[in-house]
A and B are shown apart, each in its own frame.
Chain A
Amino acid sequence: MKRGGLFARARVNRLPRAWRRPLAVAGTAVAVAWIAVALAAPVLAPHDPLAQELPRLAPPGPGHWLGTDQLGRDILSRIMYGARVSIPLTLLLVALSVLVGGLLGACAGYFGRWVDETIMRLADLVFAFPTVILAMVVAAALGASLGNAVLAVLVVAWPAYARVTRGLVLGVREREFVLSGRLLGFSAWRSLRVDVLPNITGPILVLATLDIGTALLLLSGLSFLGLGAKPPSPEWGGMVAAGVDVFDSWWVATFPGLAILTVVLAFNFLGDTLRDALDPRTARAIKERAL
């Protein structure tokens, strides 16, 4: 027993200090819980998310813990299944943004000249629009569907990664180990892949974690506007929109909104912690306080 206690404390002490703060613990717990809900939705959900039963617009209570919507569908089950729509799509979206933005930014920084000019002016153009407006315009032009909404958010999300990656690559490009790689006969791609990319992943990961929340807000916002998921699909933004029509049945919009809020908050807590852990100045401050 005693040994177990000591062992446990030793393990906790080995965690980086930033990760022992309450916000980091809460963020990790909530994010893991939501991912678990998304994975286990078919087991956990008490009802079929699409089944229409009576009573309609039933307030929260036994049988339907979070009530039912105007078609008599169980809101708790829809939120659980909604996690299978919103969370993977958001993660996919951020992964695509990192990939597209990172690749374009790395090319801009590494090759310079007209490649740099073209890519960065394109990024400036995207930055010239407020995000929801541009995403809305793109989604409206492509037609309302969840896939097109993802594409629309991707269009507004990649430039941030392109800018950061370009800056990081510019910093690494002239370093000796990159130059010696080129002297050894590495092709541009090999040099980028082997020498440059591994040295710039940290800050990009922080940006990506912080961006998960923003991406989910944008995606559900588009669905709220009717430009994302189509009606029967249990997407959280669309579920909030359904609540606009039945105003006095507060539970219809409130719970899906809370689901969005908790996921975004969890990833923002995580991103904040990651940034503190990787930013030397804040990391030092945490260390000094802990000592």
Chain B
Amino acid sequence: MSRTSVPSNAGADGGGTAPPSRGRTASAGRGAGRGRRPRPLVRFLIRRIVTALLLAVGITLVTFVLTNLVPGDPVAANLGQRALGDPAIVAQWRADHGLDRPLPQQYLMHLEGLLHGDLGTSQQSHRPVLDDLAGAVPATLELAGAAILVSLVLGVGFGVVAALRRDRLSDHVLRVLSLVGISVPTFWLALVAFYVFFFRLQITPGSGRIDPGMTPPPQVTGLYTVDALLSGQWDVFSSAVGHLAAPALVLALYTIGLLTRFTRSAVLEVLGQDYVRAARAKGLPGRVVLFRYVLRPALVPIVTVAGLAFGSLLSGTVLVEAVFAWPGVGQYAYRSATTLDLPAVMGVGLVVGVVYLVINLVVDVLYGVIDPRVRVS
């Protein structure tokens, strides 16, 4: 990807013979005489942001094309039986919604709508999809955030242990466990966890985000745990954490498996390097060698995988939220998909696609910050 995009972007960034205004400002602070081109990090950032913007437009194109693929007629879905019988009303409705214009023009109208925050109207709730999603996003962010936190701590921890204890019993056990983690169907595990821990053992609270009789904390962030802490409501906080634990753990299992495997191989790769051997040979304590010499370079591939893992977490929310009745984007997507509420499904696709894009952009940038080689190449 970068191989082909480098020359075109280097030209666009003010390289070559064009007046190098952006290049000069970028390196002016350094007072460098050869400030013809922006610094590598700036160029790297610009390239990544432009790619992300193009992909965002691509996402809108994909959802638009898919919406127009549908055999069902939007007119029939939105107008009542009597209105459908009147050709004049149908024609008027089609004209009002731009359906009588050619597809490219409809796409431009669709884009314009999107820029104004118009994601269409859900056929189920008869509310704007954007409003529906705005209510659901914080719940999903809370769940996915908790899951990624658990996955990072446990996944990286297990991976480091497996690498350091290579070929011992603990390494083999972790290997099998991580393979099980990536092989379990999430929707099934959610059901089993709900049945065992709630229904049988009654350790975890039931579905939803807090106990039924409780009032949600005053909204600041929309994340119940954080909001409860901010308002000092400890009972709400403990209820929210209790409700969060089971779905977050179920959701995290796949990413824990993924991160364990990648961390193990990344750490093993670094452990074999000469500089690690040198650090050990000069008598540095094991902890210093591990944190300063091994983990930092190993973090580079781990950060990339964590970004990808977030994508699978977002996918997993669709399957987990449905089982735990967690009122987030996943459950909304599940309901919309099962009732074939297309505007809602496309809205979810669009919003989740863009969120994933932003996360990947952040990961890419982090990657460039951690490893200077990436932004130069």
Contact = CB atoms under 8 A, between A and B. Distances in A.
Interface of A: 23, 116-117, 120-121, 124-125, 128-134, 136-144, 213, 217, 220-221, 224-227, 237, 240-241, 243-244, 247-248, 250, 253-254, 256-257, 260-261, 264-265, 268-269, 272, 289
Interface in B154-209: 167, 175-176, 179-180, 182-189, 191-192, 194-195, 199
A250 B200 CA distance: 11
A253 B188 contact: yes
B337 A136 contact: yes
Nearest to B55: A128
Contacts of B322: 225
B95 to A, nearest CB: 25
A129 B349 contact: yes
The 8 A-B residue pairs whose C-beta atoms are closest, nearest first, are A257-B188, A132-B315, A137-B349, A264-B183, A141-B66, A130-B311, A265-B183, A130-B315
A254 B323 CA distance: 14
Given A130-B352, A141-B70, A125 B183 contact: no
B334 A225 contact: yes
A125 B58 contact: yes
Given A134-B349, A225-B338, A261-B185, A128 B176 contact: no
Secondary structure at the B interface, as helix, strand, loop or mixed, is: helix
Contacts of A23: 175-176, 179
Given A130-B314, A133-B348, A272-B179, A140 B340 contact: yes
Nearest to A265: B183
A250 B197 CA distance: 13
Given A23-B176, A132-B318, A134-B349, 18 more contacts: A117-B4, A121-B58, A125-B59, A128-B55, A130-B356, A134-B353, A137-B346, A140-B336, A141-B67, A224-B319, A225-B322, A237-B187, A247-B195, A250-B195, A253-B191, A261-B180, A261-B183, A261-B184
A198 to B, nearest CB: 25
Contacts of B199: 247-248
Given A133-B333, A141-B70, A221 B4 contact: no
Contact of A141 (B69, B167, B195, B315): B69
Contacts of A143: 70-71, 340
B188 A261 contact: yes
B185 A221 contact: yes
Interface residues of B, number: 56
B321 to A, nearest CB: 12
A25 to B, nearest CB: 13
A140 B342 contact: yes
B364 to A, nearest CB: 13
Contacts of A131: 311-312, 315
Nearest to A137: B349
Given A131-B315, A133-B352, A141-B70, A240 B188 contact: yes
Given A141-B342, A265-B180, A227 B69 contact: no
Contacts of A132: 315-316, 318-319
B62 interface: yes
Contacts of B106: none
Nearest to A282: B265
A221 B348 contact: no
Nearest to A125: B58
Interface in B219-266: none
A225 B1 contact: no
Given A140-B345, A243-B191, A264-B183, A133 B4 contact: no
Interface string B57-96: 0110011001101110000000000000000000000000
Nearest to A21: B172
Contacts of B356: 128-130
B357 interface: yes
Contacts of B176: 23
Contacts of B184: 261, 264
Contacts of B1: 120, 124
B188 A138 contact: no
A269 B179 contact: yes
- Most central of B66, B70, B167, B191 by chain A CB within 10 Å: B191
Nearest to A257: B188
A124 B191 CA distance: 34
